[in-house]
Amino acid sequence: MKKLLIVATIPETLTAFFTYITRHFQAQGWQVDGMAANISQDAKSLELFDRVWDVEWFRNPLNPKNLLKAPQQIQAVFDKNEYDLVNVTTPVAAFVIRLALNNCRKQGKFKMIYTAQGFHFYQGGAIHRNAIFLTLEKLAGAWTDYLVVVNDEDKQAAKRYNLVPTDRVRLIPGTGLNIKRYDNNTLPPAEIRRVRQELGLGVQTPLFLSVAEFIPRKRHRDLLKAFARNGPTDVHLALAGDGIILDQIQQLASDLGIEDRVHFLGFRRDIPLLMRASTATILVSEQEGLPNCVMESLSMETPVIGTNIRGTRDLLQGGCGYLVELGDIQGLATAMAWMLDNPEASRNMAKQGRERIAEYEVSSILQQYESLYTEAVGLELNGSKISQTLAQTRF
């Protein structure tokens, strides 16, 4: 039996992004364990993994406490357990575990794979911040066997800065999108009408949707300012998500005089319905790896407006969406007006996006991880079980 350990800073990352990979390799007969902060208290993780391991670290990559207890806890796990492969993601977990286990890795006891879902240094990022995180990635690159990136900008950066040898860099676009879940043909029209009625909207009332955590880098302020520029109309905006700046954004909506047309939805489990009920979705982030909400919207054939940054650009370029420069408030307002004034062109754009999204579909991603893991541990895997993985994975 091959043994795989998947590691992230928090358990929610593991269950959100690595469910398909975990289920697939379990179906291949592997033991797949998880490691994260307080993972033993997370019901989804307990159901997903064969075993779980707690580790004390913090989400802030620059918190010095990350180097106090975590390395010892990690080493204690490896003193009692042997793994063939470690796949780590998120900056804190990726740095600390590679540091803690490098001597063990150099002895050939396992292979270390780092799935970078968006480097913390990026084009347009603050110079000092980029310098710090690039330095950390250069250090940890020497402790890494394979580096997986999810967008083209990060691939080019990995090669330009020689984070790992070029032949050990892999571009795998995400961890798998379940296209069947995001299929507009499977959603009952009555449910779509219900969602609109919940918001107090008529059948023809235009609705823009943004699905994003309320944190500064998602730049909700830009979105509200652009929305307000379109003047007093019957157009509405729905914001799905929670976060630390929610109160500030609600206050901004009031200050701009648009509070009666902006709907704060909180955390939602019916995102496909919301997307299908919308004229277009909008993501104005300054930093992404490969945004799931954009992939989901494209899969639903709902048009997308996004900022011209890595990840979002990969998904929308070539006419698959409407790209706006970061921070361009008027450009964003113009994009929204264009979507309203050009419904047929918007629909054609969305259909083109749906065609592209096939390369991000979960079966394609699983095949690429199979190839990577096969190369890493030298094991022949059975790709025919991918459909079984999909059938057994619940949401």
- What do you get for the CA distance between the two ends of the chain, in Å? 27
* Residues of the chain under the 50 pLDDT cut: 380-384, 386-391, 394-395
Q: Residue 60 and residue 34: Cα distance in Å, rounded? A: 20
Q: Residue 332 and residue 226: Cα distance in Å, rounded? A: 6
Cβ proximity of 301 and 354 under 8 Å: yes
Which pLDDT value is given to residue 61? 80
Which pLDDT value is given to residue 231? 76
Location of structure tokens 């929204």: 336
Local structure of residue 204 (DSSP, 8 states): T
CATH architecture of 3-176+361-392: 3-Layer(aba) Sandwich (3.40)
Taking CA atoms, 375 is separated from 93, 117, 256, 371, in Å, by 23, 21, 55, 6
Which pLDDT value is given to residue 369? 97
Q: Residue 273 and residue 280: Cα distance in Å, rounded? A: 13
Phi, psi of 326 (to 5 degrees): -60, 130
Rounding to the nearest 10 degrees, give the CA dihedral for residues 335, 339, 340, 344: 160
Q: Residue 345 and residue 250: Cα distance in Å, rounded? A: 32
Helices (H) and strands (E) in the chain, counts: 17, 13
Which pLDDT value is given to residue 1? 86
CATH of domain 184-358: 3.40.50.2000
**Domain assignments of the chain as residue spans, ordered by start:** 3-176+361-392, 184-358
